[in-house]
Structures are given as structure tokens and as C-alpha cells.
Amino acid sequence: MSHKSVSNKAKILIFAVSFVVLLYGASAVFYAKEAYKELAIFMDVIQKIRDEYVEVPDMDKVHQGAMRGLFEALDPYSTFLTREQFDELQKRGASGSAGVGMVVSRLSEAALIDVISVVSVQAQGAADKAGIRPGDYLLSVNGEEVHNKSLFEVNNILHGAAGTGIKLTVFRASLTSPQDIELTLHEPPTDQVTSRILDGNIGYLRITSLAGASVEQAKVNLKTLISAGAEKILLDLRGCAEGDTAAGAEVANFFLKDGVIYFSQDRNGVKLDVVDASPEKFLTDLPMALLINRSTAGAAEIIAGALKDHNRARLIGEKSFGVGASQKTIKLKSGAALILSTAKYCTPGGSIIQADTARNAGIAPDFESPDTVTRQDLSVESYYDYDEGDEDKYRKIQEKIRQIQLDKALEVLSGVEIPEESLKKAA
């Protein structure tokens, strides 16, 4: 090869590298200009407020409000906390983990924008006994309005030392005015899992929470059902909205020998964390069905999504709530903190659990129950025939819905054949 040809190749290589560098630099300048335009608008608004607002503004509050608005435009779980707020919340969190027995989230609706809504109420918990229901709106805590607080803050002030008194103001569409309810914080119940054998040798396993020791309790109860001769499993996750994703993955693993349970992905769709089933944690391949409703959220949705996508269970009930994002806390030099969602959880088939719209969020059942007509009839009955303070009527209607869903699940399970190898293993 001649010296001249090598020289030409070197020139071409240098030109190519230079072109790439130039292109990268031009792109960076373009995006920087676009970002600068938005920043310039923001600074212009701040300046107008500073110079022309009817009163001399507290610019610290203006800046904090701007930061909060920035995060509220992202999702319900991201937020900005000042140094004082972050320190206060840490102190409050250290005081205890007792609560009122309910899970809340932030919703945006046509009539009510950015409201704190009750997702799930723990059976026989303080909130349940006081008459608070899923779907109620939380207006204030101890007289302090919560509509302008982040979900992180609201959850924090709903927890503390056991025995602490707390006053909530809640509202629902069927009432003429908000209600003030006084509660006492209590430790979560130690037993969140129950089980029994139903007719037809169906093992019924109900999990109301995936926090604390619930996973181990679920494991023990499931083994007991199998030992007692269960030939099919009915897993009930209605109202289950507490617990982390690891707990959900472990329970799903009881029914899955292999395969992906869930994975997380970033905004570009890049997989960040893939959780696979572990063969040693697998317990049973008995035919099964799964009950879910609108109060099924978080870790329970990890289970529902995994079992559905692997065709391991038929889902009966209502579409789940749709909570599935991981957050990281970023401490700033000023002492302030960012709580930022950095990834979303997906089912094995790639469905995003926490979508941007309520219509696309959650896990859809294979069999909707109650059906549309029955649901409308029950809605009319519960809304127009409701007397303020008449909790008995509400509870009877809810029990009717639960029974309709249970009957449908049993009907679905009755049509599922039991593989001979499963019967041999059960024996």
C-alpha cells in the first residue's frame, strides 16, 4: 500500500470525525437554544411578577410555587421539597409508621383537578370504621388543606406514632357537604392474609396487604391449602394496595416456575431492571383465578400483570387502579430535595401499569364483574336511595358486589380442567 493512499484514508477519517463532532455540536446548540427559549419565558414571567404584581411578592414563595408546579405537571409521585419541608417530613417519618388504614393517590378529573383520592380502605381499620370509602376525596388533615401538597407529603402526615389523634375532612359526590372525621393512628394489623377451602376443593387465598410479614403469611397459607387438598386456587387481591414491588414479585413467583415477572423501563423504553421467576420459590401449578378491583394497586398489580400475561390465571372483577413507577430522592446542595419518578413498571408482555391516562392505566380483567347493566343498577341504588349517615346500605351494596365477583370467579374456575400432573403433585 502506498504512502499516498494511507494519507488519503487518514484525511477521510479526520473529515468524518470532524463532521460528527460538528453535527453533535450543532445539535447541542439547537437543543440548548430551545431550552433557553423556555427558560427565557420563565424568567420573564418571574420578572413581571416581581415588578408588577399588586403587592410586593414573597419571591421565595413564588420560586417554591413554580418548582411545585413544575413537578405537578409530571406525575402524582414526583415532587419538590424545600429544605424545611424535607427536614420536617424526615422527623415526622421517624416518629412512627402507624396510620389510619387507607391508601391515597392524586387524580386529575374534569370537575376536580389534582384531588387527593382514597384508593383503598383497610377492612376494620380506623378509616373503614369511620365510614371513609374508596373514591372519597381528602380535603384537609388537621385543618390544613392538602390540595396544594404533594402526595409524598400527604402520605407522610397520615402516618406517625400510634395513638396520635388526627382530623380528616373528606368529601364524596353523594353528600351535600364535606365531613369532619376524627381518627386515631394505629399500627397495621399483623394478619393480612386469610385462607379457607371452598366447595369443589377450591383453595381461597385472600391478601389485603403486601406490606410487613404478608408475603411469608401468604406462603404459609398457600402451602396449608395445598396440604388440605385444594385442587384449584382462587387468589383474592381486591383492595390490596400496600407493599413494594419485591413483595408482589415474590408472591407471583409462588405460581410461576420461570419467565419474567415484571421489568422497569426508562423514558426511552430501555429496560432497566428485569425480574425473573426463581424456580426454588415456585410452589404450585394448580389451576387458578384471580380477583381484582379498582382498589387493587401497586405490588398487587405486579402479581396480576404477571399471572395474566403468562396465562397462569384468569382475572375477574374490575380494572385495577394503575400504580407502577419507581422514584429516587435527589438531595440538592441547598438542602431541598427532589422526589423524581425515573422508571415505570411493565408486565411481562410490555404493558405499562401506570400510564399517562386513567383509561390506559391498570390491569384489565379477563371477565368484567359486575357487568355493565348490573353495575348501573347498583350505582343508581347506592346514589339515589342513599341516606346521609346510612352506612349499612353502602356496606350491603359493597357486599353484594363482592359476592357477584366471587360467584363469577367460581364459575370461571369450574370450567377449568385440572391437569392430571397437578392432581398427582397435590396428592
Question: What is the DSSP code string of 154-203?
Answer: HHHHT-BSTT-EEEEEEE-TTSSS-EEEEEE-BPPPS--EEEEEETTTEE
Least-confidence region, from 12-21, 139-148, 218-227: 12-21
pLDDT of residue 422: 54
Q: Which amino acid is at 159?
A: H
pLDDT tens-digit series, residues 115-128: 899 999 988 889 99
Q: How many CB atoms lie within 10 A of CB 303?
A: 33
Q: How confident is the model over 13-39, as pLDDT tens digits?
A: 444 444 444 444 444 444 445 555 667
Quote the mean pLDDT of the chain: 83
Q: Which residue has the higher pLDDT, 307 or 55?
A: 307
CA atoms within 13 A on the CB side of 391: 7
Q: What is the pLDDT of residues 235-271, one digit of tens each?
A: 999 999 999 999 999 999 999 999 999 999 988 888 9
Which of 241, 255, 259 shows the shortest CA–CA distance to 288? 255
pLDDT at 42 over 80: no
Phi, psi for residue 234 in degrees, rounded to 5: -115, 110
